[in-house]
Amino acid sequence: MLVLGLALVFGSSPQPLREFPNHPTRLLVKGPAQTILQASRGLKAKVVKSLPEIGWTIVESRPGALLPTRNLLSRVPGVIRVDFDRCSRPAYVPNDPLWPQLWHFRTIKADLAWDTSKGSPVTVAVIDTGLNRNHEDLAANVWVNPGEIPNNGLDDDNNGYIDDVNGWDFAYNDNNADDVYGHGTPCAGIVAAVQDNGIGMTGVAPRAKIMGLKACLDEGYLYDSFLIPAYLYAANMGARVFSMSYYSDRVSAAEKDAMDYAVGHGVLPVAAAGNSATSIPHYPGGYLNVLSVAAVDSSVKRSSFSNFGSWVDVAAPGEGLLATGASGGYVGFGGTSGACPHVAGLAGLLFGAKPTATAAEVRAAIEDTSQLLNEPPFGEFSNYGLVDGDQALRALLTTPAPPKAAAVKAVGRLGQRIAPSGIDPSRYIVSRVYGRGFEGLSQLRVMQGQVQASLLSRGRDWFDYRHQTTLPGDVTIWDGDNLVASVPNPLGSRVVWPLAESVVTGDKSQPFWQAVADDGLTLDSNREGDGVVRLTGVFRNVTPVSNAQLRLRRRYLLASGTENVYLYDWNSGSYPYGQWIKVFTGSCPTSFTTTTVNLGSNSPYIDPEGSVYMQVETTGGASGQGIRLDSCRIQQAP
């Protein structure tokens, strides 16, 4: 499920990341549509909708028969996978007072950008809780389907939707995408409220067209079976930008396929990073091809609720915002839900100023002109920083901005063993480096010790390389003769995933590689105000391997309190909620001590994106207690 604004709270033991109940009767099934249809009939289930663009089908079970239906469908020959219909909620609880001034537009320099261009009628899909199409400050900018004749009861453009003149309601399957919950209309106003009409406010892209797609029940829940058809519809109907102000702790394979489809059709998806004050990736913002947005306040400081980390791309205002109201007039708004449409609107403005631009060009202009924000103790809480509309527009229309200086934020192994022809694959492994500015490295090379690794593929914010597993020496990344970064080599021939990101109390800006090797360089976390020592870690791209184990090497400042180690359980057995599982408990060692926890080859702690979430909590410790983490990794046991 996706969420609209519940905070992450830890008590004496970690709580579920979010209450994300799955749909009680729906499943997402990947495989041949006819096979799924026949199997569903035999199970007295029905096919709700086929999604041929990505090879998935939405199936509805009988009430109370969801788990048996899922289990039986998964055994049907030809069926690739069967997933629950994950749920989300919008990322905002509307409780901010009405602000009479649009400070947030000036903060991203939208007003200066308008001196150059106000854009043109490109389409921005606001996929949310619906849209008040009659709002006096939005009506003139509401998208109109040119192929549909209003109210004739026909599917004039043969797209599968009858009378979809201004969009569609995917939650209730009709053409009235009304905004009962009241979240989508404020987002739409920030994107593209009408400018120079003598009333109300303006949007960042004042000439863009708003495709209002309702993918949310009126109670505030967004299910994958609503969202995914909305993505496909928007991409097929010509949207250039998605504005997605919702998030979930659960990755969805079907959603990822739909997002890939949209990107393949020239869409730039923009998503809220989430309001949980954590570096744990949330989706859809966590996908590499989605532009994720953190929130800042009026002082351009990270909003206390905003998620952060190397997976978060840019930042925009998310507190004390003014926006159009679902019932008319104007309302206070906030959260990363409010930050997201600032960036979606900016993308719409850029596409409008240069309609021939590609999504990659628009994204590069936004990211490369953003202003880096380095805020102790979090460090760079978004990869590129605060968006700058004026500079982004200039970069797109004139000379592209130079790439940001290359920075390595995380390194993780992909688990793939790809060797040169005729060589034992067990001697080679593929790793991925995350960060920014890699496209500016014209002479990129990776060394392990004195041996150069083979580059396989690269993007703006990542690249993959193949290297030998038995070579000693740290991994160094170079641009010609210039050293970019040096990362400790975790260890020899076993498949290893070091900690990719961490959240620690003492200094959240500490580099993750302090916890890669047994070298005495530590990630440090001190006791918080409630008396608990906490450390959260994320492992990326983990694939199930035989004899997998979590390995921790750490010490504590004081021999007091109880240490508990938790992993997040993604197993369907925890339906409808994920949960933290305590995998180790013991006293706090004052000398460096290594603890291993066996995970098994079919671990419930690995999500479909290969993410593993870990939490260490120490309770009952005396004042001055703290953890010093020397190394932390998931590995194949010796």
Instruction: Copy the structure tokens of residue 354.
Output: 């240069």
Backbone angles phi, psi at 264, to 5 degrees: -65, -20
Do 548 and 628 form a contact (C-beta atoms < 8 A)? no
Q: Which of 337, 370, 502, 611 is catalytic?
A: 337
Q: Which residues pair with 562 in a beta bridge?
A: 587, 619
Sign for the pseudo-dihedral over CA of 480, 486, 487, 493:
positive
Helix (H) or strand (E) holding 390: helix 389-397
Helix (H) or strand (E) holding 4: none
Sign for the pseudo-dihedral over CA of 360, 365, 368, 371:
negative
Q: Which residues pair with 331 in a beta bridge?
A: 323
The CA distance from 377 to 521, in Å, is 18
Neighbours of 99 (CB within 10 A): 18
Do 619 and 532 form a contact (C-beta atoms < 8 A)? yes
Q: Which of 183, 282, 342, 467 is catalytic?
A: 183
β-strand pairing of 246-247 with 87-90: antiparallel
Neighbours of 593 (CB within 10 A): 16
Helices (H), 457-586: none
Backbone angles phi, psi at 114, to 5 degrees: -65, -25
β-strand pairing of 222-223 with 87-90: antiparallel
> Residue type at 316?
A
Q: Which of 81, 118, 137, 32 is nearest to 348 (CA)?
A: 118
For residue 137, indicate whether it is catalytic. no
Q: Which of 479, 397, 466, 376 is nearest to 437 (CA)?
A: 479
For residue 128, indicate whether it is catalytic. yes
> Residue type at 159?
N
Q: Which of 213, 210, 225, 124 is nearest to 168 (CA)?
A: 213
DSSP 404: P
Neighbours of 389 (CB within 10 A): 29
Give me the residue label for tokens 């987002």.
187
Do 514 and 633 form a contact (C-beta atoms < 8 A)? no
Q: What is the dihedral of CA 611, 602, 87, 277, to 10 degrees?
A: -30
Q: Which of 83, 96, 128, 224 is catalytic?
A: 128
Do 205 and 191 form a contact (C-beta atoms < 8 A)? yes
Neighbours of 458 (CB within 10 A): 16
For residue 249, indicate whether it is catalytic. no
Rounded (10°) angle between helices 224-236 and 253-264 = 10
Give me the residue label for tokens 């797609």.
213
Do 271 and 251 form a contact (C-beta atoms < 8 A)? no
The CA distance from 568 to 620, in Å, is 23
Instruction: Copy the structure tokens of residue 257.
Output: 């396929």
Q: Which residues of 116-128 are buried (b: 16+ CB within 10 A; e: fewer)?
A: ebbbbebbbbbbb
Half-sphere exposure of 44 (CA within 13 A, CB side): 6
Determine if residue 637 is left, alpha or beta; phi over 0 gives left, psi from -120 to 50 gives alpha, anything else beta: beta
Do 51 and 235 form a contact (C-beta atoms < 8 A)? no
Q: Which residues are catalytic?
A: 128, 183, 337
